[in-house]
Amino acid sequence: MKKFLSILLAVVMCIAVAVPAFAANTTSSLQFGADGKFKIMQINDTQDMILTDVAEIALLEKAIEQENPDLLVFNGDQLTDFFPGADVDGLKKCLSNLFDVINEKGIPFLVTFGNHDHDYEDIFPLEEQMAFYKQYENCIVPDNGCDPGTYNVPIMSSKGDKMAFNVYVMDSNNKAPDGLITGYEGLRPYQVEWYKQTSDELKAANGGKVVPSLLFQHIPVKEIYQFLDEIPFTDDVTDAVFSLDEVKWYTLNDKVIDGALGEVPCSESLESNTGEYQAWVEKGDIVGAWFGHDHVNSFYGVTDEGIKMGYNGGTGFSTYGRAGDRSVRVFVIDEKDPENYETYEVTFNEMVFEIPVYPLDLFSPTIATTIAKLLRSLIPSFLMPIIASFM
């Protein structure tokens, strides 16, 4: 009980002390073009290693050349999940392989952290990781947030006289602490409070009107499961994925607009409630929430509460992914109709050349689905109902 009270007191103090110390950004150098359009490119799960990921660089160079984005958002897991004997110099080398190239493109970029970036906090603290990014002249991460990876950046109108749009970038932390809660932690209370306060401040600065906003974070909220239906064991599982943890089949439902399901979402913990999604609904400014983390998912849809959200599949080739369908996601926002923005993926196969498979994809969660479907095909049909009765 004493430990619980200490933790609760620490959370309250974080909310009381940290949140008021920051004021929302209401102006920036980002601006809609003369045509009234603004283009954002999401990049995630690059997971770069000491050796340069030449395929990833080729994808990004071609995609940037074709799309000519106004802003790049690196949505977490810039660092690899496998680096025995890692030290700070080695980790910086991993990042410089990519960001030296990105900085040369002259495009403003933002960065937040994924769970694997958090994995190295003991030797490469998040403050130092962000300081590394900020050494690049095109990194425009502001100091207006509640922690190094959580902040907002507005986009001004084409005339430059008012806020027309806003981008939230959130640090969704790492795995949930040991105990009754499993899965990923998601946002902490002080981060949710920061979002709510910032939304209110932006609204006040915009004459009492909410500022339409895109939100980027690495790990999805658990409401991503609104887009999935559980499939009974006896049903056709052709388009379904298998959850090894739950021993269940899932498929996409009719709330989905586009994209593919390759693995069961690894969201914030299903056993807890961060309150983040509920805060979005309350404030009414989030016109889209976009995630990475699950490398072989690319679907998006609209929730029951009217929020569009979904994935970009993984970008990097130093980890598992979708073979030649590794991607970036593009958002084209119209100043006159920002809620109805256009979004699409640009893939490696479209930009460079087609590859049938990539060795690291053998470690993909899709393997569990493949094996489960194979085993299922060996079960005689008359045994299906009997097995299902035990599930």
pLDDT tens profile 253-277: 999 999 999 999 999 999 889 999 9
Q: What is the pLDDT, as a whole number, of residue 12? A: 38
Tell me the C-alpha distance between 110 and 168, whole Å.
Answer: 10
Start-to-end C-alpha separation, the chain? 37
Q: CB of 108 within 8 A of CB of 71? A: yes
Decide: 331 and 342 in contact? Cβ < 8 Å: yes
11 lies in some domain: no
CATH of the domain at 282: 3.60.21.10
User: Rounded to two decimals, what is the model's pTM?
Assistant: 0.92
Residue 179: the pLDDT is 63
Identify the pLDDT of residue 343. Answer: 98
**Is residue 188 one of the residues assigned to a domain?**
yes
Q: What is the pLDDT of residue 194?
A: 98
In a domain, 13, yes or no: no
Q: How many CA atoms lie within 13 A of 181 on its CB side?
A: 15
Residue 321 and residue 296 in contact, taking contact as beta carbons nearer than 8 Å:
yes
Produce one character per residue of 122-154: b if its CB has 16 or more CB atoms within 10 Å, e if not.
Answer: eebebeebbebbeebeebbbeebbbbbbbbbbb
DSSP state of 312: -
Question: Does residue 8 fall inside a structural domain?
Answer: no
Neighbours of 376 (CB within 10 A): 14
Residue 240: give the domain boundaries.
23-388
Residue 14 lies in a domain: no
**Following DSSP, what letter does each residue of 129-183 receive, concatenated?**
HHHHHHTSTTB---S-SSBTTBEEEEEE-TTSSSEEEEEEEE---SBPPSSS--S
Domain tally, the chain? 1
* pLDDT at res. 10: 40
The answer to the question of residue 12 being in a domain is no
- Give the residues of the chain that fall short of pLDDT 70: 1-22, 179-181, 384, 386, 388-391
- Asked if the structure places residue 17 within a domain, the reply is no
Note whether residue 218 is domain-resident. yes
Helical pair 189-205 and 2-18, crossing angle rounded to 10 deg? 20
